[in-house]
Amino acid sequence: MCFNDELYYADAENILKPEKVDSEFTYSEVHYAPKGVILGVMPWNFPFWQVLRFAVPAILSGNTVVLKHASICFRSGNAIVEVLLEAGFPEGVFQHLEVGHKEVKEILEHSIVKGVSLTGSGKAGGEVASIAGLNIKKSLLELGGSDAFIILDDADLDDAAKEGVKSRLQNCGQTCTAAKRFIIDEKIEDIFLPKFIAEYQTYLVGDPMDKNTVIAGMARPDLADDLEKQFTKALENGAEIIIPLERISDNEFKPGLIRVQKGNPILKEELFGPLGMVMTAKNDEEALQMANDIPFGLSNSVWTKDKARQLFFIENLESGTVNINRMTSSDPRFPFGGSKGSGYGTELSLLALKEFVTAKTVVGN
């Protein structure tokens, strides 16, 4: 099947039309009413996609959007305004405010703003959700993750190694849905790990302006500092180096890989950069326990050819998405959202069209 991302919402029809409900009443319907102005607080790591996947369904639901983009992405925010105007959206339906984080509270508290969608860190999400809650306003949070990439003994190991490294190091590891913890069935560790390491070492830091570059630097030097501190913390708590995380400039690393044992406090954190963690499991039950034993629940990946084993993980993994024999990628057709500390609410799919509307019941004769 050929799927065109750009036409997904354009082809959707009558999703929000009034729904008839069988009853004894003359009027027996559910109407969907837009909430009004929705604030979007968006991150720097995918400055166009993150905004559009929130804003398009919100606008098509009848709302207008005010964007507070990351401070290093103001030009991206302005470019989105121009693109939407060129596409025919009325002026004012989507606006970009060049403001800092300190202004978010005042904007969200304003009576004209009826809800907020945030993609970012758990700390930022908690702060914004608190403001929204105090003002009785709808919030949607897409937060961090520390996704598990589980490789069982009957998996296609070559494919799993290739896709696992790609998932960990895409966008220099600065992706909430990136695979961060590689949980390997101990029966195939000696076979899989050399394949994984060999693939990992093919990712060489290059010029970000070169189309052939697969990994470049991190977004800012202070973010690289944070990752380096996490690497040190992991080692101080018993982690072992498989491939050293080697800093080669203010914001560039040769990607690192460490072996981590259960109980290491680094497992409770998100590594937002080119550093992966390897763990081994004795069986499927232990692999599941390891995968779930974190504060996050965004998107996990399981590699096995056995349908019964696939179903076991599908039913028991605590995450918004479960991928079978593939890495995580967001797709307009499918709901995207997390559980636990990874947030709440749905972006993408037709469900997103109902996130910022009020379901209005109409009953009577």
Cα Rg of the chain, angstroms? 22
Q: Would you please indicate which residues are annotated as catalytic (active-site) residues? A: 142, 176
What distance lies between CA 346 and its chain's CA centroid?
11
H or E segment and range at residue 258: strand 256-259
DSSP string, 92-133: TSEEE----GGGHHHHHHSTTEEEEEEES-HHHHHHHHHHHH
Sign of the Cα torsion 319, 321, 325, 329 reads negative
Distance of CA 302 to the CA centre of its chain: 17
Distances (CA, A) of 20 to 23, 30, 364: 9, 7, 13
Q: How many CB atoms lie within 10 A of CB 308?
A: 8
Residue 78's Cβ-side half-sphere holds a number of Cα atoms within 13 Å equal to: 7
Give the residue among 21, 32, 86, 26 at the shortest CA–CA distance from 57.
32
